[in-house]
Amino acid sequence: MSSKHTPSIARISKATDQLANLRQATTEWQQSDNPLLRLSRRLGTTLILDQQVAMFADSLKELVEYDQLTYRHRIGRQEMVFSIGLGGQHHCEYRLNLEGESYGLITINRRRRFAEEELAAIEQLLSVAICPIRNACQFAAMQQTALTDALTRVPNKRALDESLLKACSSGDRHGEEYSLILCDLDHFKRVNDTHGHIIGDHLLQEAAAQIEQAIRGSDGLFRFGGEEFAILLPHTTENDARLVAERIRARVSSFSLNCGEQNVAITCSLGVATRQKGEDTEQWQARADEALYRAKSRGRNQTRVSDRII
């Protein structure tokens, strides 16, 4: 029998030694008390950005005393801010840049100056953390893309559904008041049929921008249909939500798009519903939708509140 396909004893022995070395290295990596290896192990357990920054903050505290650590980064439309502790007059800042991309800014404060060896320790920990933080930022961006309307760049219906569920849970648990506005652009099909979908798309983008300028930074704007938007208002009473809806209506009707021979303007109709305790998302939306239907059926370009006429 030919032996040319049979591994030699030397090759088998070498492979066995390599496997043994790998097992030993894995055991040492898992059990090592080296702070860099401990941080690396912890960061590998999650892709959630704020959890990773918290892990970095905990690991840093074991090596360098500080009074406050703050991480800031903007991913798409979302401003990510993580802060622990209270400040001090001395600080050091680190911009997390990798391969030409920025992945945030870390600022560390305390009441006394940092020694050179402390700054070196911070930089060593950051060298371990930056790749996992980069991965977490990219993961957050992917999640945000899945929840964003491609045309208007505002959150989509899936994001609205998730936000309404959270609002219902928070409202029942903490008694917080939430209001919902549904906004529908009037006669929008006529605009598309007359001026084309390119003009229609520009109007949708401008309408989203106008609505965004009429609401607070803490409010949520969503596109959940062809020409329909939803606005979720935390800590907002029915009367205040009505005022916001009227402000939105005024802003939307105040702009026009130049189409060469003429300017194209639009109006909108709005329905308002403040969530009642124990109400689920479908019931809440149905009341806002009923108010919107009344606004449209009674002449459009107006606001109606659920179960009440304004």
Q: Please identify every residue annotated as catalytic.
A: 227
Phi-psi region at 10: left, alpha or beta (left = phi > 0; alpha = psi -120 to 50): alpha
Residues 109/94, Cβ–Cβ less than 8 Å: no
- Cα(166)–Cα(192) distance, rounded to whole angstroms? 35
**String of b and e for 229-261 (b: at least 16 CB within 10 Å)?**
bbbbbbebebeebbebbbebbebbeeeebeeee
Residue 111, CB half-sphere, CA atoms under 13 Å: how many? 3
> Cβ atoms within 10 A of the Cβ of 269, count?
25
Give the residue from 254, 255, 244 showing the smallest Cα distance to 303: 244
Tell me what percent of the chain is helix, strand and coil, each rounded to the nearest 5: 50, 25, 25
Residues 87/67, Cβ–Cβ less than 8 Å: yes
- Cα(43)–Cα(48) distance, rounded to whole angstroms? 10
- Quote the crossing angle between the two packed helices 116-146 and 35-43, to the nearest 10°: 10
101-110 sheet: strands from edge to edge = 78-85, 68-75, 101-110, 90-98
Instruction: Specify the DSSP element, H or E, that contains 184.
Output: strand 178-185
Q: Tokens for 302?
A: 């107006």
Residues 220/148, Cβ–Cβ less than 8 Å: no
